[in-house]
Structures are given as structure tokens and as C-alpha cells.
Amino acid sequence: INIKITDRNGTLHEVLVPTDMSMNLMEVIRSYEIADEGTIGVCGGMAMCASCQVYVDNNFDLPEMDVEEDAMLGEAYHVQENSRLGCQIPITAQLEGLEVTLAPYP
């Protein structure tokens, strides 16, 4: 699937992501080196650090947040109405065309 990710410097990255690798969006951002190592996925994808926070750009219909994600975003910095945690968004075929912008490092 094609995903567009704007990094923390404002550079747009268009990435082609396989859907059969059980990855989440945080892992995609790491593996494509869209954010410096150590500034994304700090908690290892446990919804406990918000270093993977993204803003969803195009009113995309993502799966609902669970309580852990909602609670972490309740405490994190730079949270907007369209904030999500990348580590809590599994890559599926439904994400084709998703556009996100990385939030500033917390």
C-alpha cells in the first residue's frame, strides 16, 4: 500500500509498505528512517511514550483507539484532535492512501 508520511522537518516521504509483515505505522516510520533512531518507538510500541505520535492528515477512517492509546494521548504533548499513536495502527490494506505528519518529539 502507498502511505505518505511527512517527517519532523516537513519533508514528504511516499512509501510503499507491504501488508503481510505484521508491521505497525511506528515500525514503518523507523524502518524507512523517516525519524532518527531513538526519537521514535522509544517504548517499543507499548503505547507508553508517544514518540510515535502522528497527525492524520486526510480525515482517514482508522480503527478506533483502545483505552491505552487514548490514555497516552491524554498525557502527551502536542496532541491535536487528529492525533494517533503510530505503534497502535497496524498496517492493513485499508490504509492505502493514508497521509500522516509526525508530531514533534515529546
CA distance 57 to 53: 13
Regarding 83 and contact with ligand FES (CB under 6 A), the answer is: no
Task: Give the binding range for ligand FES (CB under 6 A) out of 29-37, 39-47, 57-65, 93-101.
Answer: 39-47
| Residues 6+ positions from 55 with CB-CB distance below 8 Å | 80, 82, 83, 100, 101, 102, 103
- By Cβ distance, which residue is nearest to ligand FES? 87
Looking at 3, 85, 89, 103, which residue binds ligand FES (CB under 6 A)? 85
Looking at 17, 25, 47, 56, which residue binds ligand FES (CB under 6 A)? 47
Q: Is 96 helix (H, G, I), strand (E, B) or coil?
A: coil
Looking at 25, 51, 84, 102, which residue binds ligand FES (CB under 6 A)? 51
Q: How are the residues of the chain apportioned to helix, strand and coil, as percentages rounded to the nearest 5? A: 20, 20, 60
The footprint of ligand FES on residues 55-74 (CB under 6 A) is 72
Q: Tell me the three cell numbers of residue 77.
A: 504533548
Regarding 52 and contact with ligand FES (CB under 6 A), the answer is: yes
The number of residues making up the chain comes to 106
- Give me the residues that bind ligand FES (CB under 6 A), please: 26, 41-43, 45-52, 72, 85, 87
